[in-house]
Each structure stands twice: as C-alpha cells, then as structure tokens.
Amino acid sequence: MNKVKFIYNPFSGENTILDDIDTVIKIHQKYDYLVVPFRISKDYQLSDAFRDIDETYKYILIAGGDGTADNVVNIMKEMNIDLPIAILPVGTANDFAKFIGIPINVEEACEQILQSDVESLDLGKINDKYFINVASTGLFTDVSQKTDVNLKNTMGKLAYYVKGIEQIPNFRKLKIKVDSSNMVFDGDMYLMFIFNGQTAGNFKFAYKADVADGLLDVIIIKAGMIKDIITLFVKMLRSEHLEDFKGLIYFKTDKLEIECHENIVTDIDGERGPDFPLKVECIKGGLKVLGVKRKN
C-alpha cells in the first residue's frame, strides 16, 4: 500500500483540520493510501516527521497556512527529500494554495490532489531559506510575526489589520538598494514584495505572476506623498493594474540582491526571514506539487 505523510498544524486558522482528519483518512483509503500523520507541536522537531520516509511514501500532505508549508519545504530541502507536496489550505493565510487552485473544502481538496499529476513549480530562495509565496521587507512586514496566535485564531485576517493599524505611528522612509539584471533601485521606499505567487492576505498584488515562468515578481512601493500611497493601496486592494503609477516599481527577475541598513526585518510568508544583505533567486521547477488547478 502506498503511504502519504500527513503533516498537520492543529493551531492553524480556526483549528478546523481537527474536525477533518477522518475525512482525510477516508478519501485516501478510497485511493488505497495509508495515511501516516504527524502533529506539529513545540514538543517535537519538524524533522521528526521524516524519520521513516522511504520509497513507500508517494507524497507529503500539509495541512496549514503558507508559513507551515514553507517550514515543511525548508526541512525537506535540508534533508534532500525529493517528494511532491500537496497543501490543504486550513491556515490563516492560504495565498499559495488558493493561487494554484486548491479548494478550501478538505474533501474536495483531497479528491483533487489524488486525481492530479505532479507539476514542477517555481520556488523562491532568500539567502539559505526557501519560500513558496512571498518574501517582503519594509513597513508592516512583521505584522504577522507580532500577531498573537490566539488573536489570529479568534479574529482571522482581521487580526493582521488590527496589528497593522498599531504600527501606523512608525511610518517612515526606508533607504534600500536593489540590484538585478532587470532593475536597479537605490533610494527610499516604504515596502517591498518579492512574489512567487500572486497574492498576500488574499489581495492580488502581483497580477502578472506565473508560478512556472522561472521569474519572481518584485514590487517596490517608493517613499513619497502619503496621498499618493493611499491611492496606490486602493488600486492594489482593488486588484487594478499598476503600470505607470509613479509611486511604484514592478519588474520580473530571476535573481536580485538587496542591501539595507535600516532597523527592519524580512518576512517569508508570515515567518521571520534572514537578515540583510539578501540574495534572492527563483529556482525554476524547484517544487513538485500535486493538486494544481490553475486558471486559464
């Protein structure tokens, strides 16, 4: 019998996966899969989930948000485990899973995953860390890191907005230098995104992104007049095209380097990222994924 390692985060989102474990097992048994679960907790290392991995395992099923998926992918890369992954989007932020068309309903998601073929998608890398959806730096990028887990579970995405409002008094210009073959920027900014996916917080910022083109989509929001920034954010929240907006730089690249001496951190899908300076690259086809159902 084929096996699937089922890694689930019981604290993701509103803990809904706890009500769906039987569904996960039922659907996989229908397809002649044995589900071997691993519960994420602070009492065990995530690497413990892979102690028994052998040729009988066909893929890794992850139940959680983007941060949980990132953590699993990073451990797999460290341990040279070359198996496909699939994601059940049950976290607070599920941007990547939604981007590749995974249903929210767990039964539908499992059926789609088990009926699919493996696709090779791009994977972002920032210094020695990997990310599936987005890396960011600048103002507000540590909001998810500072938001209490209980608040996330109680309020969902609203918790991020509440924490973001708290940071408005810290609004300031940030000096940064970005160097790539496609764009050089040396100046002041407020915020920078590096997308492998398209969305952050369910808002489609990187509307040109293609998860299999070997390129990352970079958005830099330049420092300027506050009224211009407000207009820009409104356009972004409406998913409107942003070409020629004077407060924004949008370009694609496979590699870039970033220098910054400001007292700011980086964020990788809601988790703390590495310190500056940064070397960022897109690994084309670096992630094997099941269940992909992208829109035409």
For residue range 198-252, what is the model confidence (pLDDT) as tens digits? 988 777 888 889 999 999 999 998 887 666 666 766 666 666 666 666 778 999 9
For residue range 144-158, what is the model confidence (pLDDT) as tens digits? 544 444 444 444 444
For residue range 70-121, what is the model confidence (pLDDT) as tens digits? 999 999 999 999 999 999 999 877 999 999 999 999 999 999 999 999 999 9
Percent of the chain residues past pLDDT 90, beyond the cut: 67
Highest mean pLDDT among 158-172, 189-203, 235-249: 189-203
Q: Which domains does the chain have, with CATH numbers?
A: 2-116 (3.40.50.10330), 129-282 (2.60.200.40)
The Cα diameter of the chain in Å comes to: 62
* pLDDT surpassing 70 at residue 34: yes
